[in-house]
Structure 1
Amino acid sequence: MKNSSLLLSTFALILFSFISCTKEDSLTATDNGPVVASVSIDLINELDIKIGNEISFENSTAKKTGKSLTSSCAIIAMNPVTSNFPKTFDVDFGTGCTINGIIRKGKLKITFSNYVTETGSTMTIERENYYVNGNKVEGKIEYKNTTTTPSIPQWTRTVTNGIFTNTKGEVYTNTGTHTIKQTKGVETLTLDDNTYEMIDGTHIVTKQNGAKITLTVLESLVKSYSCNYVSKGKLKVESPLLNGIIDYGNGDCDNNATYTQNGIIFPFTM
C-alpha cells in the first residue's frame, strides 16, 4: 500500500495546487476529498475481488492459481463446509495481517453461487468490521458472470451501500456498476496470464458534506493479473469544479498516470 498511499498524497497535492489557482471561493467546490477517496475505494474493491477470484479458482478442478492465499496470514475457511453450491468462505485477517505491504484487519465474507467462470454465477463480497491501512470499508460487491461469448468472459461488478471512512474520520458513501471482460488467458489453466478490461461504468463518491465526484470509463481500463496497476485506459472526472481526464498510459506495467484539465497535464504516480 506504500505505492497506493503515494498516489493518494500526490494526487491530492496536485488537485489542491490546481484548485488553489482558481478563483472559486466555495469550500465545497474546492473539496478534493472525494477524488482521493475514490482512488482508495477502487483499489480496495479490486483487492477484494482478486481474493474472491483466487478462492474460486483454488477450489475449482478446472483451473489453479499457481499461488495460494492459504500460505498468507489470512485464515480462510468454508462456512459451512459443503460440497455443493452456494459456498461461503470467511477470510479472516484478524487484528492485523500484512500481504504485499497492505495491512488489513477484520473479515470478508465471500459467497459463490457457482464458480466465477460459469455464466450466470455470482460472487458476493461483504465486509465485517473490515479495515485496509486504517481505513474502514463497508458495503457489498456483487460480481456476476454475464458472458454471452465463451471466448470473451464478462462480468458485471456492482457496489452497493458502500461506506469508506478514512483515518481522519471523514465518511464517504459510494456506489457504482462496471462491466469487465477478460481479453487474455482464457484458454490456460492459470490466473497469472489473465488480462481484464473495464469497458464501461460509473462510480459515484459522495462526502458527508455533499461534495460529490463522478468517474466514468471513457476508454477501457486494462489490467493484467500479474501487474499491480491499471496500465491503460481513461476515466472522465466530473464534479462542481473538476472536469478532466485520468489517463493510465499506453499499456506499460508501471505506476505512472496523468490528470488533464483545461489542457494542463498533471503527472502522478500510483
Structure 2
Amino acid sequence: MKKNAILLTTICAAALLLFSCSNDSNEGTASTDLTSIGASIAIDTSNEMDINTGLAVATSTATAKTTETVVGICATITITTPTGGEYPKVFLIDFGSGCKDDNNLTRKGKLEVTLSGPITTTGSKMTIKRTDYSINNIKLEGTIEYTNTTTVATVPEWTRKVTNGKLTDLQGGVYTNSGTYTTKQTAGVETPYVLSDNVYEVTEGTHTVTTSTGTTLTLTVKEPLIKKYSCTFISKGQLKIQGGILNGVVDYGNNDCDEFYTYTHENGASFNLKM
C-alpha cells in the first residue's frame, strides 16, 4: 500500500523537507517516526550541500585573493593562509543574517572551510565547521571532514566523516548525528576544475541519528547513492533504516534530479515523501 505525500506542517515539518503522515492506522508506522526519517534525510542532504559549497570555494580559480565571489553562493568569502604558505588555506563563508542561494534556500551564519592541501590530492582534507548556521531556519551544527583517499588516479575517492552533528528543526526537535561514508567520483574526473559535470557515488557507510526522545536510527548504504553535483538531492540508490519501530528502506528513485523519495516499511507499507 502506498500513500502519497501531503503538506502537513503541524506534525511533519521536519527539517528541510515537508511531508504528510498517513492517517491510516493500519500503516503500522508512527508519524513521529516518519518525522525522524525526514530529519535523517535532511541531515544527509544538508551535509551534501555544505560539501558542495566547500568544493565550490576550494576549486575557485581566484584563490590567491583575500576575498572571493563564487557563482551560486550568496555569501561573503574571506580567504586566509594562517602559516603564510599556500596551505593550509581557510575560507570563511559568511551568509550574514540570511540570503537565498541558487536553490532558493535561505542560509544564515557561517561555514569555515579549511583545506590542508588541494582536495584532488591523496591525503588532503577539507574540514567544514558550522557557526550559528542554518538552512531555511533549520539550525545545523557539527564538523564534516572530507578526506581524499584515492589509490587509483582515474577513480578519485573520499571519506566523509561527520562528528558532533546536530539538527534542530522548526518545532525545536533535536537530532544528533555522526557517521562515515565512502564516496567515489564516477564522472567529471577529466575536468578537475569544472564541478558541474561531476557525479559521485556513495558506495558504503553508516550514519546514526538520535532523537531528543532517545531513539537512535541507523542509516546504512544498501545500494550505492548517486549524487550529481548539479543536483541538490541524491537521485538514485537506497538506504537501510533501522531503529525504534522502524525497519525499512529509503529509495531515491531512478536517477531523476528531483526532491522525491520513498520509504518502504518491512510490512510493505510504502510512503512517497518529498524533501
Q: Report the TM-score when normalising by structure 1.
A: 0.86
Cα distance in 1 for residues equivalent to 2:240 and 2:72? 39
Structure 2 gap ranges (5+): 1-6, 8-12, 64-68
Secondary structure of the 1:69 match is: coil
Structure 1 gap ranges (5+): 62-67
Cα distance in 1 for residues equivalent to 2:190 and 2:50? 24
Q: Read off the aligned partner of 2:272 and give its amino acid letter.
A: P
Contact 1:153–1:182 (CA under 8 A) maintained in structure 2: yes
Contact 1:7–1:269 (CA under 8 A) maintained in structure 2: no
Say whether 1:198 aligns with 2:207: no
User: 4+ residue stretches of structure 1 with deviation over 6 A?
Assistant: 3-7
Partner residue of 1:183 out of 165, 182, 186: 186
Q: Number of aligned pairs?
A: 255
Contact 1:34–1:211 (CA under 8 A) maintained in structure 2: no
Partner residue of 1:252 out of 249, 252, 256: 256
Secondary structure of the 2:58 match is: helix
Q: Read off the aligned partner of 2:163 and give its amino acid letter.
A: T
Q: Report the TM-score when normalising by structure 2.
A: 0.84
TM-aligned CA deviation for residue 39 of structure 1: 1.7
**In 2 relative to 1, CA 31–246 (structure 1 residues): closer, same or farther, beyond 3 Å?**
closer
Q: Read off the aligned partner of 1:77 and give its amino acid letter.
A: T
Match of 1:242 in 2: 246
Match of 1:139 in 2: 142
* Identity score, percent: 47
Q: Read off the aligned partner of 2:226 and give its amino acid letter.
A: V
Within 5 Å, which residues of 2 pair with 1:1-270? 8-10=17-19, 13-14=20-21, 17=23, 20-21=25-26, 31-59=33-61, 69=70, 72-80=73-81, 82-100=84-102, 101-188=104-191, 189-261=193-265, 262-270=267-275
Contact 1:163–1:173 (CA under 8 A) maintained in structure 2: yes
TM-aligned CA deviation for residue 203 of structure 1: 1.1
| Cα deviation code 1:168-193 (max 9, x no counterpart) | 12211100100000001101241111
| Cα deviation code 1:228-256 (max 9, x no counterpart) | 22221001011121111111122233333
Contact 2:236–2:253 (CA under 8 A) maintained in structure 1: yes
Contact 1:153–1:181 (CA under 8 A) maintained in structure 2: yes
TM-aligned CA deviation for residue 41 of structure 1: 1.1
